[in-house]
Amino acid sequence: MKNDAWERLWSEPETIEMNIFKARFDHLRNPRNGHDIRIVTLTGNDAVNVMAITSAGKVVMAENFRFGIMAYSLELPGGLVDDGEDHQHAAQRELLEETGYSAPDWFYLGCIAANPVFMDSYVHHYLAIGAVKTGNQSLDEGEDIRVRELPLEEFRKMLFNGEFQHPHTETGGLRGLGRLDKGL
């Protein structure tokens, strides 16, 4: 891997505000050729997702409508970390809000860059054991989520068959299965 750092010459103020992101334009110098370029970076809060397993060995899933593909996507529940919020608390909150489930035992599975091509945020993955339905969904105005429980082996099969469309479900699922396979 190259260690040549790209020099940030200056940044334009974040003037484009979107629903959950802001756009920042940076002016960088390419160390390979010395050329200056203008790039866009989406800035925003980190996110979380949760692989929640019930005592019956089922994975709690959120079938979430996604505007980018204009279709429902079967995913691990998750969402954005609020300003000043601890990411584990955000994971617990998002699981409850999106599915109505909570769990007593939580394991941190690490984080991954949300999309390092043009985003500055990270996704923190969690495994929750002993998930049970303890409440009702509390969805945002722009959410339409159907909760499903998948047997763990069906989840594993779908994951390795490439049936999930959301990359964070892929990474969270792989990390969660890895942790489960090691016996927690």
Using one digit for the tens of pLDDT, what is the confidence trace for 95-119? Answer: 999 999 999 999 999 999 999 999 9
CB atoms within 10 A of CB 68: 7
Catalytic residue set: 141
Domain identity same for 85 and 104: yes
User: Which positions ≥6 away from 21 have C-beta within 8 Å?
Assistant: 42, 43, 44, 119
Domain identity same for 60 and 11: no
Q: Is 184 helix (H, G, I), strand (E, B) or coil?
A: coil
| pLDDT score of 20 | 86
Is pLDDT at 19 greater than 90 in this prediction?
no
Our CA dihedral for 117, 121, 124, 125, rounded to 10 degrees, sits at -30
Is pLDDT at 124 greater than 60 in this prediction?
yes
Domain identity same for 30 and 55: no
Q: Is 103 helix (H, G, I), strand (E, B) or coil?
A: coil
Domain identity same for 13 and 96: no
Contact 116, 42 (CB under 8 A): no
Domain identity same for 16 and 82: no
1 lies in some domain: no
Q: Into how many domains does the chain fold?
A: 2
Domain identity same for 38 and 84: no
Dump pLDDT digits (tens) for 32-72: 999 999 999 999 999 999 999 999 999 999 999 999 999 99
Domain identity same for 155 and 68: yes
The letter for the amino acid at 52 is A
| pLDDT score of 2 | 52
What is the mean predicted confidence (pLDDT) over 136-154?
96
| pLDDT score of 163 | 97
| pLDDT score of 3 | 53
CB atoms within 10 A of CB 30: 12
For the chain, how many helices (H) and strands (E)?
A: 3, 12
Which is more confidently placed, 1 or 8? 8
Domain identity same for 90 and 13: no
Whole-number average pLDDT of the chain: 94
pTM of the predicted model as reported, rounded to 2 decimal places: 0.92
Domain with residue 73: its CATH number is 3.90.79.10
Per-residue confidence band for 90, with pLDDT thresholds at 50, 70 and 90: very high
Q: Is 57 left (phi over 0), alpha (psi -120 to 50) or beta?
A: left
**Domain carrying residue 67:** 47-181
Nearest CA to 126 among 75, 71, 76? 76
| pLDDT score of 14 | 75
